[in-house]
Amino acid sequence: MISSTNLHFSYSAQKQFSFPDIHCKDKETLLILGQSGKGKTTLLHLLALLLKPESGQILIAQKPVTALSPEEVMKVRAKNIGIIYQKPHFVSSLSVLENILLSNYLADQKENTQKARMLAEKLGFAEHLNKKTNQLSQGEQQRVSIARALMNEPNVILADEPTSSLDDNNTQKVITLLKEQSASIGASLVVVTHDQRLKDAFSNQVHL
């Protein structure tokens, strides 16, 4: 599970954020909706331990994580969190398949090529596994990023605008897969977006 209370963060005196409390249990899903400038990505980066809040508390798997050292944070993130970034970050010299398998390597796990191929099949890019990521469309890159985030069966899946570059058909595929995978591994799924198409797919919602 993942939860937060009284989170505050500021980039400057003019750009400060106070966030509503978040609570998402194992196998539950949470949609965080908000327009541009409302702090959606900042909140996701706080929950992903990529940013440190000025005040407030974050718990992952019922353990407080805001006071951990940088080394401890890296270990917690690798073991517990799967992040789907709005703009995918890939190693350009590696193939699509190798970029997905990089998740196993960074978490010190054995490469699971079978799972990578299964996810690619479900997300509709299996025929591109041997290509370089820069040969893919933006929507295909986004789906590769989703597959990579699911590889290590994290306790928490955090998705930043996972459907922003997808058409209606692939949007439905992605949301269905994220829900299925999070439920199957007992993970919490938190999606932050301005995509109003997702409102009917999530009963648990927070509006920024």
The whole-angstrom separation of Cα 121 and Cα 56 is 41
pLDDT at 92: 92
For residues 76-104, give the mean pLDDT. Answer: 89
pLDDT digits (tens, 9 = 90+) for 116-174: 999 999 888 999 999 999 999 888 888 898 899 888 888 899 999 888 878 888 888 88
Q: 187 in a domain, yes or no?
A: yes
Residues with Cβ within 8 Å of 41's Cβ and at least 6 positions away in sequence, in order, are 86, 160, 192
Paired with 205 in beta bridges are 31
The CATH number of whichever domain residue 123 belongs to comes to: 3.40.50.300
Statement: residue 5 has pLDDT above 90: yes
The whole-angstrom separation of Cα 11 and Cα 198 is 29
pLDDT at 189: 94
Domain count, the chain: 1
SS3 85: coil
For residues 45-51, give the mean pLDDT. Answer: 93
13-48: b (≥16 Cβ within 10 Å) or e: eeeebebeebebeeebbbbbbbeeebbbbbbbbbbb
Q: 90 in a domain, yes or no?
A: yes
Q: 14 in a domain, yes or no?
A: no
Statement: residue 57 has pLDDT above 80: yes
Q: 161 in a domain, yes or no?
A: yes
Task: Name the residue range of residue 67's domain.
Answer: 2-9+19-207
pLDDT digits (tens, 9 = 90+) for 157-166: 999 988 887 8
Q: 99 in a domain, yes or no?
A: yes
Are the beta carbons of 195 and 165 closer than 8 angstroms? no
pLDDT at 185: 82
